[in-house]
Structure 1
Amino acid sequence: MFVFKRVLFSTVAIAAFGIFIACSSVWYWARAPIHMTLPLNVTIQPRSGLRSIAFQLRCSGVPIERHLFVLMARILGMSLQLKPGHYVFSTEVTPYDLLQKLAKGNVRQCLVTIIEGWTFRRMRDEINTHPALRHDSVMLSDSQLMRKIMANISPTDQHKTSTQNALHMLSMKGVPVQKPEGLFFPDTYLFEENTSDLDIYRRSYHLMHLRIQREWEGRSPGLPYLGPYDALKMASIIEKETGRAKDKPLVASVFINRLRLSMPLQTDSTVIYGLGTLYTGQLCKKDLQTDTPYNTYIRGGLPPTPISLPGNASLKAALHGASSEALYFVSRGDGSTHFSNNLVDHNKAVDKYIRGR
């Protein structure tokens, strides 16, 4: 019996020592940098098991010992924590760092930037050609795309009041689905590689409506708008008229004053939008006399839709315009704007800043 116990103890001790040596070897290996000449892009497929992940890493060019990677993950209890996605691994990453990154899901982040003042057509072109997006909407018309986006909105949301959700006021109060100009917020959007482009549209759409909702609820009293969609039209015009944030509230006041007096807006930016591909790069007298729904020299009131994607400053200006008596403005040519209360002063400003250049 005594001999048996000694043999058993020796066997257990040897096994424990062997496990200690094995764990020490794995730990030493786990902390040693993996030398790669360039950062590697690696895609881990969904529903991949631990051995499959090790195989995918190796096939992607990461020089790891697959069996040691599997053993390390099991020793650390992380074999079921590894997440799929698109990763970028630096040239000096260790196997342990690599495992931690896979467990945390620190996937590669891509971005797409939508610029303030772009048209919806320009936004679609940018998204359609972005190499990191999955292009699920390329073959959709604008109206089909809008239906895809609206299908993601729950019936409960669609019955909220205007003060609760200006998003659905815009969607349900006469907004032409086939002409979704202005309904998307220009911003930089982060996403994982191979994300559907529909996700970017939904996020941009939702963000615009959160912004317009916030500004609409706190708007200045007495504005000549029938609803938030009119405010969005105004913001889109302001966006095209000036890029200078401090001038936007005064530009807004000019257009608001004109609406109150039933004066035509007479803004070149709407005329250019209405001309579309007929615009040659310089407005002439014939262009100003061409009747389109967007010619605010000929037609009164606001245009039928927004003409651009307005940013935050333009939204604020449209709903919190400066208090002024100005009815005219002209660019000084240096990025700033000169404002006039009457036509005589405006003509003098035009002579100085336009004809005098």
Structure 2
Amino acid sequence: MLKKFLFALVGLLLTGLLAVVILWKALDWYGDQPVVAPDSVDSLEFTISQGESMTRVADSLAELGWLQHPQVLVILARVEKVAGGIHAGDYLIPAGVTHRELLNIFTSGQVRYYNVTLVEGHTLKEVVAVLNKHEKLSSPLDDQAMQTLYKSLEIEGNPEGRFYPDTYFFQADASVESILRRAYKRMSSVLSEEWQKRSEGLPYKSAYEALIMASLVEKETGVAYERGEIAGVFVRRLRKGMRLQTDPTVIYGLGERYKGNISRRMLREPTPYNTYVISGLPPSPIALAGREAIHAALHPKDGKSLYFVAKGDGTHYFSKTLVEHNRAVRKYQIEQRREDYRSTVETQ
């Protein structure tokens, strides 16, 4: 009787072991099988929310027609001990991926990255508007939130120009604040690097004054190769005690009142930024300046020109004397004035 029981017990154990082996092999086979995507679909944009379970992820894929047996994927994830290691984020799942590869995508964090570009010459207001409207960025900032950010970054006075123009990559639902913090840190780093390598004898008391000059160069430059020459004109005017007299500063000082044209009255209107009225640099940058503009401000091109006028094609005519400059003004802004002409440094 005991022998029969033992034989039966061994038989049950062997049967159970065989079943486990068969199930293991079947699960292993399943892991290497491609996910069956809906017809005529090359990929799936899929989002895993923060804290979402493997069961919920599998069910969502099944609802979208990308899994026939979601519970088997959950079992595979548990057997391979990856069920708790999935990362939140946006994913692009290609058709033909196997179930095991799918799990690897989720657990290795192969999330999609998006990007946003902060453009040279744009104001901080324009930059924040772009960030706030980006569909993949979260937590848009209002004026009060911006003030809180400036305080946390220890920015005193006008924050204009303190953020570096560049393309920033991020995962879905990154905050607007996180991009601005990265841009602030990047600007601090770039400005410090360029300031350490500056030319001698520049009329700046600090790196911040160089950044102010860089913003003027950025706004006046239509073609990249003129940055150094434009910076040279501004630097020579500062050294001679001449007013900078550059239109972008007037426009910035006018704010919302600027509607596309500058009148003579506007040029005479006293604002902290009107360089036709004030001497020296304005009190802050007037836009975002890139590394090239910062470099130009710190390495202005040698020469004798003190004036420049827009030629209407993005380039400028540079003059050494007021007489030459006035002739250029008549030629490019009066006799053959075009609608797309750029601003100019005027006479003293």
What TM-score range do you get, normalising by the shorter chain?
0.7 to 0.9
Q: Does 1:333 align with 2:334?
A: no
Is there any run of 5+ residues in structure 2 with no aligned partner, and where?
337-348
**What's the CA shift for 1:239?**
0.6
Mind listing any 5+ residue stretches in structure 1 that lack a counterpart?
A: 151-170
Alpha-carbon deviation of 1:108?
Answer: 2.3
Given the alignment of the two structures, is residue 198 of structure 1 paired with residue 199 of structure 2, yes or no?
A: no
**Structure 1 residue 67 corresponds to structure 2 residue 71:** yes
Equivalent residue of 2:137, what SS?
Answer: coil
Report the more deviating stretch, 33-42 or 110-119.
Answer: 33-42
**Within-5 A mapping of 1:206-225:** 206-225=185-204
CA spacing shift, 1:323–1:5, aligned 2, 3 Å:
farther
How far apart are the structure 2 equivalents of 1:77 and 1:33?
20
1:301, 1:60 → 2: CA distance? 64
Which amino acid is the alignment partner of residue 300 of structure 2? G
Moved more, 188-197 or 343-352: 343-352
1:50-199 matched pairs, under 5 angstroms: 50-58=54-62, 62-138=66-142, 140=144, 142-150=146-154, 171=155, 175-176=156-157, 179-199=158-178
Q: Deviations over 1:201-226 (max 9, x none)?
A: 10011111111010011111111011
Which whole-Å CA distance do the structure 2 matches of 1:260 and 1:104 have between them? 58
> Quick one: structure 1 residues 144 and 340, their matched pair in 2 at CA, closer, same or farther if it must change by over 3 Å?
same
- Going from structure 1 to structure 2, the CA distance change for 1:102 and 1:141 (only over 3 Å counts) comes to closer
Q: Distance in 2 between matches of 1:207 and 1:61?
A: 44
CA RMSD of aligned residues (A): 2.4
Q: Secondary structure at the match of 2:248?
A: helix
| Residue 232 in structure 1 maps to residue 211 in structure 2 | yes
How does 1:15-54 map onto structure 2 within 5 Å? Answer: 15-30=16-31, 31-36=33-38, 38=41, 39-54=43-58
Please say which of residues 317-326 and 211-220 is displaced more in the overlay: 317-326
Q: Provide the residue aligned with 1:165 in structure 2.
A: none
Query: What is the rounded CA distance, in whole Å, between the counterparts of 1:249 and 1:104 in structure 2?
Result: 47
Q: Give, as a single letter, the amino acid of the residue that structure 2 aligns with 1:252.
A: A
In the TM superposition, residue 327 of structure 1 has moved relative to its aligned partner by: 0.7
Q: Tell me how far apart the structure 1 counterparts of residues 301 and 227 of structure 2 sit (CA, whole Å).
A: 9
Amino acid in the other structure paired with 1:298:
V
Contact 1:149-1:198 at 8 Å conserved across structures:
no
Are 2:35 and 2:66, in contact at CA under 8 Å, matched by a contact in 1? no
Q: Secondary structure at the match of 1:306?
A: coil
CA–CA distance in structure 2, aligned partners of residues 182 and 229 of structure 1: 10
**Contact map agreement 2:160 2:287 (CA 8 A) in 1:** yes
The equivalent residue for 1:347 is 326
Contact 2:131 2:140 in 1 (8 A): no
* Number of residue pairs aligned between Structure 1 and Structure 2: 332
Per-residue deviation, residues 261-286 of structure 1 (Å, max 9, x unmatched): 11000101101111112212122212
Cα distance in 1 between the residues matched to 2:232 and 2:82: 61
SS at match of 1:191: strand
Q: What's the secondary structure of 1:140's corresponding residue?
A: helix
Name the SS of the counterpart of 2:37 in structure 1.
coil
Write the distance in 2 (CA, Å) between the matches of 1:140 and 1:93: 47
Question: What is the DSSP-based 3-state SS (H/G/I as helix, E as strand, rest coil) of the residue aligned with 2:219?
Answer: helix
CA distance in 2 between counterparts of 1:203 and 1:83 reads 23
Bigger mean CA deviation after superposition, 306-315 or 51-60:
51-60
1:170-190 per-position Cα deviation (integer Å, ceiling 9, x unaligned): x4xxx40xx210001111111
Per the TM alignment, residue 98 of structure 1 is displaced from its structure 2 partner at its CA by 1.5
Query: Contact conserved, 2:113 with 2:172, CA < 8 A, in 1?
Result: yes
The alpha carbon displacement at 1:130 in A equals 1.4
Residue 53 of structure 1 and its aligned partner are, at CA, apart by 3.9
Residue in 1 that maps onto 2:344: none
Quick one: percent identity of the two aligned structures?
36
In 1, the alpha carbon distance for the partners of 2:221 and 2:176 equals: 30
Cα gap change, 1:149/1:56 in structure 2, threshold over 3 Å: closer, same or farther? farther
